[in-house]
Structure 1
Amino acid sequence: MPRTAARNEVWPVVHAERWALADDLEGLAPDRWATPSLCAGWDVHDVLAHLVDDARTTPVRFLTRFAAARFDFDAYTARGVRAERAADPAVTLAAFRAAVCRTTSAPAPRDTRLVEVFVHGEDVRRPLGIAHDPPRAAVARALRFQARSSDAVGGGRARVAGVTLAATDTDLRLGDGPEVRGPVVSLLLLAAGRTGALADLSGPGVDVVAERA
């Protein structure tokens, strides 16, 4: 697929998902911003701050700040959260809305933007009890990318090695081995290391991935 075509397919989905998340969080009760997210160590407000930072990132900004963090990705990410997490969550949400339509990112494959917006959207919505039905074809595309990417760069190849991922709500089968069945977004969460997704999944491969988790 030509690079321009891939780019043009990704950003409209990312923008729509950002808008949907912003709308879902509008009017959230103050105490619920402290709800632990699916992303270990972060609450809902932290995840939103990370998404603001991610949307505002440019290649130059990423490289400069990554070097300042001594090439420690966790330290780099934590600094971004601190920088964008306002004292008032409403201010962070307004900053997120202002960044919704940006098309900048770190120097990474474009499909990482899909992984980011789908996974972090669920990191926030599921603990808050907010239902969302993302575009399944785009989620499947994100899952294909995540499943073949090395853990060293945030991928999930090792997590899902030796099993077959079979979506029950779209035409997707990946891998070889005992089957793990479930909604495609839950399979993506699994590949991204979210153990909370295991409850949505079935099949003989679930025990394999659960043991790794």
Structure 2
Amino acid sequence: MNVSEIWDVVHAERAALIRDLEALPAERWATPSLCAGWDVHDVMAHLTDDAKTTRLSFLLRLAAARFDFDRYNNAGVTRERAGDPLLTLASFRAASHRTTSAPVAEASRLVEAFVHGEDIRRPLGLSRDYPAAHVATALRFQLGTAVAFGGGKERARGLRLIVTDAGSDTGEGPEVRGTALALLLAVSGRPVHADELTGPGAPALTRDGGLHHG
């Protein structure tokens, strides 16, 4: 995918998430997300901060956070989380067409859109039919990125991942079969449902995020 195509997908995913959350009751914004320690409102604040980030603001704020990514991200949530979650959503909507970002590979924007979209949707019982080919692009990026930098390279080491809806496979070792989305979530350290991944390598891949039953 070229840069323009990536941003088209990101903008479409932002718009879809806004539509899903416009009528969300106030009390449900406090639902714990799949992102450990953050509720749904926190994740929306993070996405808002991410949409507004520029290369310069990223570098300045990371330095202010003493190059601690957790401190940097938490500061962004604090900055963008309004008292009323609908105001946070409005701020996200206003920034949703931007194409600025931290100085990172553009494919990481796909990871942000898909993984954080599910961080919010799954706990709320919402679903989306994501474009499998683009999710597979995000998965490939995560497989090439170290966990320390938000990726999932080490989680998938020694495993063969077979993407059932995008016709691809990667790696060597015990097999793990699943959709591009389920594999993306697992390599990103998120929990998935027990029936989403199959194969002898599934327990190893999900040891960080775990499997949800039911």
Query: Fold conserved (TM > 0.5)?
Result: yes
Residue 58 of structure 2: aligned partner: 62
Matched, 1:148 2:148: no
Residue 40 of structure 2 corresponds to residue 44 of structure 1:
yes
Residue among 8, 14, 35 paired with 2:31: 35
**Which residue is 2:104 aligned to?**
108
Deviations 1:81-104 (A, max 9, x none): 000000000000101111110000
For residues 192 and 38 of structure 2, what CA distance do their matches in structure 1 show?
Answer: 15
Partner of 2:91: 95
Deviation at 1:152, TM superposition (A): 2.1
SS at match of 1:32: helix
Residues 60 and 142 of structure 1, relative CA distance in 2, 3 Å threshold: same
What is the root-mean-square deviation in Å for CA atoms of aligned residues? 1.2
Q: Which residue of 2 aligns with 1:22?
A: 18
Q: Is the contact between residue 190 and residue 197 of structure 1 (CA under 8 Å) also seen in structure 2? A: no
Number of positions where the alignment pairs a residue of Structure 1 with one of Structure 2: 209
Deviations 1:63-85 (A, max 9, x none): 00000000000000000000000
Number of the residue aligned with 2:212: none
Alignment partner of 1:173: what SS?
Answer: strand
8 Å CA contact 1:166–1:172 kept in 2: the answer is yes
Q: Which runs of 5+ in 1 are unaligned?
A: none
The aligned residue for residue 184 of structure 2 is 188
TM (normalized to structure 1)? Answer: 0.95
Residue among 69, 74, 90 paired with 2:70: 74
CA distance in 1, matches of 2:159, 2:69: 28
Instruction: Identify the residue that residue 171 of structure 1 maps to in structure 2.
Output: 167
Structure having the larger proportion of residues in helix = 1
Match of 1:204 in 2: 200
Query: Which segment drifts farther, 193-202 or 178-187?
Result: 193-202
Deviation, 1:162, is 0.7
TM-score normalized by structure 2? 0.94
